Every structure is written in structure tokens, then in C-alpha cells.
Amino acid sequence: MSHSFPEKEKTIMKHKAMRITNFVLIVSGALTTLAGGIGLLTGAIATPKEWLEGSPFVDYTIPGLALAIIVGGSMLLSAATILTGREIGILASGFAGLAMMVFEIVEVPVIDHITESR
């Protein structure tokens, strides 16, 4: 005899699995962006200042703060809302992903001009 879940229970289990997956991905992203931002701020990540020549940045303070606070912070906020089970967590994770995309869209042209000049 086979036991089948009612449709509502299947949906709840599916949503729970999606929330857990999203939470794990967001937390791993938050940890790496926080570590990267702190690494840039403290100099623990050896990044040549030459990479910033011709950019609006004189050092890695602003990029490090943006990575840690804006990207990492938005990911932590979204992880917290997902953990509470609130539906807004999914929207928050979308905004965290958007923050990461914007950071990368700015980073690539700033760093890319170095490889073009070589």
C-alpha cells in the first residue's frame, strides 16, 4: 500500500527544500564576500595597487567596504529572513544576488583595463 502526500504537504516540503538550499547558498556567499571584503581592507589579500590605476579608487578601502557591507550584509540579511521562514527572504536573496552582480559589473572594467594595457 502506497502512502501519498496530499498536494499541500508536497508543496510545503518542496518549499522547505528550496528554502534550505537557498539558505546554504546565500550563507556561503555571505561568508566568502565578508572574508574578501575584510581581506581587502586589512591587506590580508595581496592585491596590487597597480590594478586600481586609472580607476576612481586610490586604494581598496571602498571596494572592500562595498564587498563586505553591501554584498555580504545583504546576503546575511537575506539568510536571516530565509531562516525565519518569511516569504520576503526569497525577494531578499534576489536583491543580494543583484548586489553581487552590480559589484562584479563595476569590478570587471576597473580591473580589466590593466590586462588591456599589458
Domain boundaries, the chain: 8-117
Identify the pLDDT of residue 16.
Answer: 83
Identify the pLDDT of residue 116.
Answer: 64
pLDDT in tens, the chain (118 residues): 455 667 766 666 677 888 899 999 999 999 999 999 999 999 999 888 888 888 888 999 999 999 999 999 999 999 999 988 888 988 999 999 999 999 999 988 887 766 666 5
- For the entire predicted model, the pTM comes to 0.80
Contact 82, 90 (CB under 8 A): yes
Identify the pLDDT of residue 54.
Answer: 81
Q: Nearest Cα to 53, choosing from 105, 106, 110? A: 110
Identify the pLDDT of residue 18.
Answer: 86
Identify the pLDDT of residue 117.
Answer: 60
Identify the pLDDT of residue 70.
Answer: 96
Identify the pLDDT of residue 52.
Answer: 85
Identify the pLDDT of residue 12.
Answer: 63
Phi and psi, residue 4, nearest 5°: -115, 140
Identify the pLDDT of residue 90.
Answer: 86
Q: Nearest Cα to 68, choosing from 40, 45, 89? A: 40
